[in-house]
Amino acid sequence: MSLKSSGLKISQSTLKSGDREWTSDDKIGLDSQLVLFFGPTDRLINEDVAASLRTKFPNAILAGCSTGHVILGDDIDDQNIVATAMEFSKCSVKAASVAIHDAGESERCGQDLARDLMSDDLRLVIVLSQGLNVNGDKLINGLNSTLPSSVQIVGGLAGDGPRFEKTVVCLNDTFDSETIVAIGVYGEALQIGQGWAGGWTVFGPQRTITASDGATLKEIDGQPALDLYVKYLGDEAEALPGSALLYPLQIWDPERNCEPVVRTILSIDEEERSMTFAGDIPTGWNAQLMVGHQGSLVEGARKAFANAMDQGTDQTACGDRLNLLVSCVGRQLCMQSHTSDEVMEIHRASPQHTKMAGFYSYGEIASHGGAQSTGLLNQTMAVTHIWENI
């Protein structure tokens, strides 16, 4: 069989609430190798989404996860399920999955996924992880410690909007709340640009993390961590952990000259007065609360896309392009009805023939500039721009 020479082809489909049939541009179907789909938790659990996708894309790997809001084109939606099918000309695709029953297994899970996908021509790994019982830092550490540094890792932790009740991940016909899926894309023709940015502003005094255990923050400045958030949130404290998404925590190592990282709360323990985040909260690091504003968050999205495009090696390649966007649920809660502004900002700046898809997550995975030490991000817009150099 001769290789195709038209570059990446992308088709997007929408399953609207109450409908049984997908609305699609029908650009490709039988030859699709990968379909990424995102949608509301309840719909993914209660509707036979995989079976309907399998009818449309019989030969593709189907991979998806839950979210409070999906991204399609220049808009976001909290009701529909969106699927993005890809047909590569010169690249191949493989998927792996692993069950995770405890966050302490996160690093081992990353190592297992990396071993399953390992190959000399592996270029990109897209990770979709359950979002409530995983340590994203350790998961990425496991992948990084096993994969060569040339492999870029992107993706995110499945979301459930502000509810924090249940997340699901799918590979082919299996939906599960304790699954991590990784998709490998192989071939030298694959072109990848990555960028991420936040746009949040720090406020209040700098503090010190005085007691923690992995991703669980126990004390700040010798005081129970939850008490600090209750103090600052006031009446909003009754809506924890969801309300804390509006006030993420920036942390950094005072002994090293490195970029601060932002952490999002996943759960609270009122009895222990502790808080569990999506990634590690090291003892001895400094911490400072953050708050977001509409304009600065949209500017962060613009910077994220600009960073991704700065890495492009061939901006004139023909074929379709994909902007895979993974933004944080905290950004959506902060911007509310203006959330689509950050997506529109990227859409306006995108090259011709670029499709956009993505979801709002409980943690973003990106390695801006190939710096794999970045690991898990929170409260960011992460952009992965994908195309084929033919």
CA distance 98 to 176: 11
DSSP character string of 137-152: HHHHHHHHHHS-TTSE
Provide the domain count of the chain. 2
Domain ends where: 291, 322, 345?
A: 291
pLDDT tens digits, residue range 275-309?
Answer: 998 889 999 999 999 888 889 999 999 999 999 98
| 255: Cβ contacts below 8 Å, ≥ 6 apart | 284
Whether residue 361 is predicted with pLDDT greater than 60 in this model: the reply is: yes
Return the exposure string of 283-316: e unless at least 16 CB atoms fall within 10 Å of the residue's CB, then b. Answer: eebebebbebeeeebbbbbbbbbebbbebbeeee
Angle made by CA atoms 291, 293, 295, in degrees to the nearest 5: 150
* Of 8-22, 56-70, 223-237, minimum mean pLDDT range: 223-237
Domain ends where: 237, 262, 291?
A: 291
Q: Based on the fold, state whether residues 30 and 156 are members of the same structural domain.
A: yes
pLDDT tens digits, residue range 108-138?
Answer: 999 999 999 999 999 999 999 999 999 998 9
Averaged pLDDT, 87-101: 96
pLDDT band at 376 (very low <50, low <70, confident <90, very high): confident
* Of 74-78, 91-95, 155-159, 256-260, minimum mean pLDDT range: 256-260
| Residue 3, domain member (yes or no) | no
The length of the chain is 390
Q: Based on the fold, state whether residues 104 and 225 are members of the same structural domain.
A: no
- Residue 1: what pLDDT? 34
- Between the alpha carbon of residue 92 and those of residues 54, 81, 184, 233, 369, the distances in Å are 19, 25, 8, 49, 23
pLDDT tens digits, residue range 300-346?
Answer: 999 999 999 887 555 555 689 999 999 999 899 889 889 999 999 99
- Residue 39: what pLDDT? 96
pLDDT band at 93 (very low <50, low <70, confident <90, very high): very high
Q: Based on the fold, state whether residues 119 and 224 are members of the same structural domain.
A: no
- Residue 372: what pLDDT? 44
- Residue 316: what pLDDT? 56
- Residue 89: what pLDDT? 93
pLDDT tens digits, residue range 189-198?
Answer: 999 999 999 9
Q: Based on the fold, state whether residues 114 and 205 are members of the same structural domain.
A: no
Q: Based on the fold, state whether residues 25 and 151 are members of the same structural domain.
A: yes
| Residue 4, domain member (yes or no) | no
Q: Based on the fold, state whether residues 228 and 331 are members of the same structural domain.
A: no
Q: Based on the fold, state whether residues 116 and 220 are members of the same structural domain.
A: no
Name beta bridge partners: 268: 275
Domain span at residue 232? 201-291
Q: Based on the fold, state whether residues 243 and 357 are members of the same structural domain.
A: no
- Between the alpha carbon of residue 187 and those of residues 18, 111, 116, 128, 390, the distances in Å are 40, 22, 17, 21, 11
- pLDDT above 90: percentage of residues in the chain: 68
pLDDT tens digits, residue range 138-147?
Answer: 999 999 999 9
Q: Based on the fold, state whether residues 145 and 54 are members of the same structural domain.
A: yes
Q: Based on the fold, state whether residues 183 and 234 are members of the same structural domain.
A: no
- Residue 2: what pLDDT? 39
| 351: Cβ contacts below 8 Å, ≥ 6 apart | 315, 321
Domain ends where: 235, 257, 291?
A: 291
- Residue 370: what pLDDT? 45
| 16: Cβ contacts below 8 Å, ≥ 6 apart | 23, 79, 80
Q: Based on the fold, state whether residues 35 and 122 are members of the same structural domain.
A: yes
Nearest to 310 by CA among 192, 220, 166: 192
| Residue 186, domain member (yes or no) | yes
Give the residue, 106 or 24, on which the prediction is more confident. 106
Quote the mean pLDDT of the chain.
90
Q: Based on the fold, state whether residues 131 and 17 are members of the same structural domain.
A: yes
Look up the pTM and report it.
0.89
| Residue 1, domain member (yes or no) | no
